Amino acid sequence: MQSKYGLCILRGMEQGKAHKTYFTKQLIHWHHTANDRQLPWKAEKDPYKIWLSEIILQQTRAQQGLPYYFNFLKAYPTIRKMAAAEDEEVYRIWQGLGYYNRCRNMLATARYISHELKGKFPTEYDSILALKGIGPYTAAAIASFAYGLPHAVVDGNVYRVLARYFGIDTPSDGAEGKKLFHGLAQELLYKEDSAAYNQAIMDLGATVCTPQKPQCEECPLQKQCVAHRQDMVLLLPVRAKKLKVKERHFNYLLLKHKDSIWVYKRTGKDIWHNLHEFYLIETRQETDIKALMATEEYKTLSFDKKPLYKGNIKQKLTHQTIHSHFYEISIHNPDMAALPHGKWVAINDLKKIAFPKTIVSFLEKNFYF
């Protein structure tokens, strides 16, 4: 049977069953004999540490998340310690990881568990799933790794491994595909040791069955892999939706008064919620100093001199690319009524403020840190 992508789909219940049995058996064998991926949270049973690692790893590569994991455990060895921390302190440790909703939800969950559950992490999948910032994948990971419950994890690595091995060309980002992949993952789960199975399939996807340049010759599933047989490995998995990236142009004014700089906290539902920034003028396109000075936001400041251009930084987010341009202006009146609610911070104290990665990079590059 041929799919629309030319993949040979297996026929017959018995052949399908044998194909699935081979998958699970080979994966578990590989995990115990050849999987040498080292991560500090592997084989961890403490639900707090597992939860922390999973929240950090949402939208973040393992190697990038490692130092953050250690920094958080050093600062907050228990969930009660995190729950008692000041928001600003937690955001500073998170600084640079992006997707700051994760940090806000993490704090809310830590406080809920500490105050409402007396510091005890939930032990059932549905109770874990009900926590703020936790979806089906994270709930399955915690349930499996901490408590050995029979729940299969399904992330990007799992989609890729399953799509290639079984020759699945149903888009993984659609409702039909998600249902198909989640059902198949649960069916394949090695229930005697769900933690080992889940770790194995994620590690295989991260180290062998990678998006580009997969190491097929080292794969324990190669002999029965449909995509490998059909030379279609790089075509799977299929995604129906094409990611649209929005271009945004941020013009930051560093308002300096003696040894202080004015900052304010971002609010609302936009990016970088609860992080600080300088006076921002967002424009629809890249602009020069003359055009910037002609904007209403700039005119309200009533400056009588030209700002000094200090450079630019581009940051790519999942759905947006932020083009940030920085300008410096020394002012004499620190109590300007035109400024929104914010505060003056001594340059030596800027390290104590939580900023988005773009601004941190600028401050480091210009020796403010």
DSSP 243: P
What is the spatial distance between Cα 252 and Cα 238, in angstroms, rounded to a whole number?
A: 40
Q: CA 138, 41, 69, 59 torsion: positive or negative? A: negative
54 belongs to the catalytic site: yes
The secondary structure element, H or E, covering residue 22 is helix 13-33
Q: Are strands 343-346 and 246-257 parallel, antiparallel or unpaired?
A: unpaired
Q: Are 61 and 89 in contact (CB under 8 A)?
A: no
Q: Which of 14, 44, 54, 89 is catalytic?
A: 54
Q: Check if the beta carbon of residue 32 is closer than 8 Å to that of residue 196.
A: yes
Residue 309 tokens read as 């251009």
Between CA 217 and CA 215 the distance in angstroms is 6
Beta bridge partners of 322: 248, 315
Please list, in sequence order, all residues whose beta carbon lies within 8 angstroms of the beta carbon of residue 349, skipping any fewer than 6 positions away.
none
The residue type at 341: H
Comparing C-alpha atoms, which of 161, 145, 238, 233 is closest to residue 203? Answer: 161
Which residues make Cβ contacts (< 8 Å) with residue 91, sequence separation at least 6?
A: 100, 103, 274, 275, 354
The residues carrying an active-site annotation are: 54
